[in-house]
Structure 1
Amino acid sequence: MINKKKVYRLCHELNILRPQRKIQTKYPRKLARNRIITDSNQLFETDIKYGYITGEDRFFYIQSCLDVYDRSVVAFHIGLRCEAKDVVRTLQAALLKRQLFEAVEKPVIRSDNGPQFISHIFEKACETFGIEHERIPPRTPNMNAHIESFHRLLQDECLARYDFQTYAEAYEAVSEFILFYNERRIHSSIRDLSPTEFHAKNRITPIPIKEVRV
């Protein structure tokens, strides 16, 4: 008759038992739902776009986090890669810039189903930050329409106009475009103001605009 205790002890001494795999917390997928946005800091949309560096024959990545009410690019990441840890830093930067870590009501963050956004790292960060993360269904970019619109502008008014020779050139051009977009580019949907100007004025005295349905 086999003595199971002796077998276990022998295996342990010979270091041939495989350690038990840690069970990671699984986060339920929350589908994006229809919302009416009435102020800043209620809904952020985020997505990733790539550009090409001709002189180095490689791609670079831009992740933007946009407030759908005031149209501001609250935070962004530019890099030769864009991993889960990078999108976490962008979200953290957005919350810090808007001073929302101590706020009772925090924005919902909406994304597509890219690997960075469905990662355990990103979901854990959202839980830690105390914000809700919702994902649009596959093949429904219209549910992330505001960030899609910004990335079309980025493509047409910046990326398509340059033949980047270095990553440094690409970084500078994209950074300058986002600054221009936030500070000087006017939007008819926010009373022909720039996102930064609208956000600042709206904080002092609410500016009525057409309700934002997403």
Structure 2
Amino acid sequence: MAVVIDLYSRRIVGWHLDKQMETALASRALMMAVNLRTSPKGLLHHSDRGSQYASHTYQALLKQYGMVCSMSCNGNCWDNAPTERFFSSLKRKWLTGNFYPKREDAIADVRAYIAYYNSRRIHTTLGDVAPIEFEKCA
């Protein structure tokens, strides 16, 4: 799974789930974000150093949309703390113990979590409101 998080509001603005973490997966998540948001030229796009993010294809997408690439140092998970926190919360509080007979069931459950995360899950960094509420007030 790949996600794109707006760090200002902590809102998940792009995501995609697939069997393997490949460039196409990350690119689909980025395209969802691009279609949801109008990003200004020079927008800082931060990721880890995964091969899917460092690929020529992904880097070309960033350049096409005027985004500036920023990558963590090797082994530095602190730079990706909001993303790591999202995945931790998804796994520990939502998916633990769940069994999905079909892939579509898993995707539907992740979609439900993202809807919850964006609209109802409060964030202390946002003054104890959910990301969508924070954006409305900004």
Correspondence 1:58-207 to 2 at 5 A: 62-100=1-39, 103=40, 105-202=41-138
Deviation at 1:188, TM superposition (A): 1.7
Structure 1, unaligned runs of 5 or more: 1-61, 203-214
Structure 2 CA distance for aligned equivalents of residues 118 and 136 of structure 1: 11
TM-score normalised to the size of structure 2? 0.92
Write the deviation string for residues 112-145 of structure 1: whole angstroms up to 9, x where unpaired: 1111011110111111111111110111001111
Structure 2 CA distance for aligned equivalents of residues 168 and 125 of structure 1: 28
Write the deviation string for residues 28-50 of structure 1: whole angstroms up to 9, x where unpaired: xxxxxxxxxxxxxxxxxxxxxxx
Aligned residues: 138
Contact (CA 8 Å) 2:4, 2:12: kept in 1 or not? yes
Structure 1 CA distance for aligned equivalents of residues 80 and 91 of structure 2: 17
Structure 1 CA distance for aligned equivalents of residues 42 and 28 of structure 2: 17
Structure 2, unaligned runs of 5 or more: none
- The letter for the 1-side match of 2:72 is I
Write the deviation string for residues 34-69 of structure 1: whole angstroms up to 9, x where unpaired: xxxxxxxxxxxxxxxxxxxxxxxxxxxx11111122
Contact (CA 8 Å) 2:17, 2:25: kept in 1 or not? no
Contact (CA 8 Å) 2:15, 2:28: kept in 1 or not? no
TM-score normalised to the size of structure 1? 0.61
SS at match of 1:85: helix
Runs of 4+ in structure 1 deviating by more than 4 angstroms, as ranges, are none
Structure 2 CA distance for aligned equivalents of residues 144 and 152 of structure 1: 12
Q: CA RMSD in A?
A: 1.4
Structure 2 CA distance for aligned equivalents of residues 111 and 146 of structure 1: 11
SS at match of 1:196: helix
Write the deviation string for residues 87-134 of structure 1: whole angstroms up to 9, x where unpaired: 22321221221222xx3x442111111110111101111111111111
SS at match of 1:186: coil
Deviation at 1:165, TM superposition (A): 2.2
- The letter for the 1-side match of 2:46 is R
Decide whether aligned partners of structure 1 residues 188 and 124 sit closer, same or farther in structure 2, where only a CA change above 3 A counts: same
Structure with the greater alpha carbon radius of gyration? 1
